[in-house]
Amino acid sequence: MRHRWLAAFFAIALIAGCARAPEPGVNDPYESTNRAWFDSNLRLSSAITGSEEAPGETTPPRASPFRRALSNVGGNLGLPSSILNDLLQIRPARAAENTVRLVINTTVGLGGLFDPAGAMGFHGRRSDFGETLHRWGVGEGAYVVLPVFGPSTERDSAGLVVDMLIDPLRFVLPAPEYGYSSAVRLGGRLADAAEYSDLLDANVINTADPYAQARLLYLQTRRYHLGVEVEEEIIDPYADF
């Protein structure tokens, strides 16, 4: 009985899957829930940044010193976690560069307020446990939109939870300070988002289907940074006709 029910479920899922136009690289079974979170995240971010849909506004936002500093400090506080993941991925060169950044920016850069390491050419590279899982052979799973955090995948959301649990700062800083550091990191992310708000407006907010564009942009950039090449995503328009 139970098997029959399952078989029916899979048959329906198969039909539903076939009915949808084949979109290479999009695995989004939770689309309706995702769309709801996407909309609520957008409302939240426009409430925080005060940005409105303003098609007339076209000048790129100027980098304010405060935003830049917040972004720097937040980024610096994220480095120990990146270094740990670099090591888990057995990538000593990346771990070394991120360590150089951490040391220089924490000391010469006054606790990460400034980015002298970047000026010297050590830009480093953010990493996370989602990337570590990828490196260990875990596929990305379905696309998900998380509350507050935004676009992710099943694998990367699992990575996010692990990152919170194994963050080296958690073991170094006492409880209240660790809480402040998390808040500053979140602030840094928001400052980054504000810095690129014009790009978000042009490529996501002001499009016909912001949800679909955000999904496409997220998955493409994420795969690109992980070094995943999806053969079927290469478009050769001369082969089509």
Partner 1 sequence: MAAAAAAPMLGGPAAALTQAQANELIGRVMADVQGIINSGSSESQVITRFEQLFTRYADVPTIARSALGPPARSASAAQMSAFTEAFRGYLARKYGRQFRRFAGAAAEVTGARQVQSFWEVVSTITMRGEAPFEVRWHVSDRSGQILFFNLIIDGVNVLAAERQEVGSMLERRGGNLDRMIQDLRQAG
Nearest 5°: CA angle at 196, between 184 and 188?
5
Tell the smallest beta-carbon distance from residue 235 to partner 1 (Å): 5
239 binds partner 1 (CB under 8 A): yes
- As a whole number of angstroms, the longest Cα–Cα distance in the chain is 69
234 CA to centre of own chain: 23
96 binds partner 1 (CB under 8 A): no
Tell the smallest beta-carbon distance from residue 179 to partner 1 (Å): 29
Residue owning tokens 């990337």:
131
Tell the smallest beta-carbon distance from residue 237 to partner 1 (Å): 4
Identity of the residue, 155 or 215, whose beta carbon is nearer to partner 1 in the bound complex:
215
Tell the smallest beta-carbon distance from residue 121 to partner 1 (Å): 9
Among 5, 47, 58, 62, binds partner 1 (CB under 8 A): 58
Residue owning tokens 């007339």:
56
Identity of the residue, 78 or 181, whose beta carbon is nearer to partner 1 in the bound complex:
78
Residue pair 214/42 in contact (Cβ under 8 Å)? The answer is: no
Calpha distance 146→178 (Å, rounded): 23
Calpha distance 228→191 (Å, rounded): 28
- Which structure tokens are listed for 141? 């799973």
Residue type, 60: P
Calpha distance 168→97 (Å, rounded): 17
Residues 194-223 contacting partner 1, CB under 8 A: 198-199, 202-203, 207-209, 212-213, 216-217, 220-221, 223
17 binds partner 1 (CB under 8 A): no
Query: Which H or E element spans position 239?
Result: helix 237-240
Q: Applying CB under 8 A, what is the total number of residues that bind partner 1?
A: 33
Identity of the residue, 109 or 181, whose beta carbon is nearer to partner 1 in the bound complex:
109
Identity of the residue, 118 or 187, whose beta carbon is nearer to partner 1 in the bound complex:
118
110 binds partner 1 (CB under 8 A): no
108 binds partner 1 (CB under 8 A): no
92 binds partner 1 (CB under 8 A): no
Identity of the residue, 37 or 122, whose beta carbon is nearer to partner 1 in the bound complex:
122
User: Alpha helix locations (H) across 60-204?
Assistant: 65-88, 92-107, 116-119, 129-135, 154-166, 168-172, 175-195, 197-200
Identity of the residue, 18 or 234, whose beta carbon is nearer to partner 1 in the bound complex:
234
- Which structure tokens are listed for 177? 């300070």
Query: Which H or E element spans position 225?
Result: helix 210-226
Residues 149-188 contacting partner 1, CB under 8 A: none
Binding site for partner 1 (CB under 8 A): 58, 60, 115, 118-119, 123-125, 198-199, 202-203, 207-209, 212-213, 216-217, 220-221, 223-225, 233-241
